Amino acid sequence: DAKTTQPNSMESNEEEPVHLPCNHSTISGTDYIHWYRQLPSQGPEYVIHGLTSNVNNRMASLAIAEDRKSSTLILHRATLRDAAVYYCILRDFVRNAGNMLTFGGGTRLMVKP
């Protein structure tokens, strides 16, 4: 699977929007963009995924650049419970027959009250 690049850490104020960037300049046409997050002392949990179009769900929004070489996870109003490590992962469902997740270092989001 293609690699992703994320900032090591970001800070946000509570109740403000947060934009978490991810660069994936070597993305292929069959790569889906997935986001997982890991709260302290817990396993990762799924947040959102997309292919080409922007996506919204109850947890977050995913904005995908037109050339698909970057994406942004948007938390519309950060809460203290959103403090976590956020992972941007590319999953190729053609070549990745096992659909395994390849995690990078992720972005540690700190939320200040």
Which residues here bind other proteins, judged by CB under 8 A?
32, 36, 41-46, 49, 51, 85, 87, 91, 93, 97-106
3-class SS of residue 62: strand
- Provide the minimum distance between the beta carbon of 98 and other proteins in the complex, in angstroms, as a whole number: 5
Nearer residue to other proteins within complex by CB, 98 or 113: 98
Nearer residue to other proteins within complex by CB, 17 or 105: 105
Cα–Cα distance, 99 to 90 (Å, whole number): 10
Q: Taking the mean position of all CA atoms in its chain, how far away is CA 101? A: 13
Choose among 17, 10, 12, 4: nearest CA to 75.
17
- Provide the minimum distance between the beta carbon of 46 and other proteins in the complex, in angstroms, as a whole number: 4
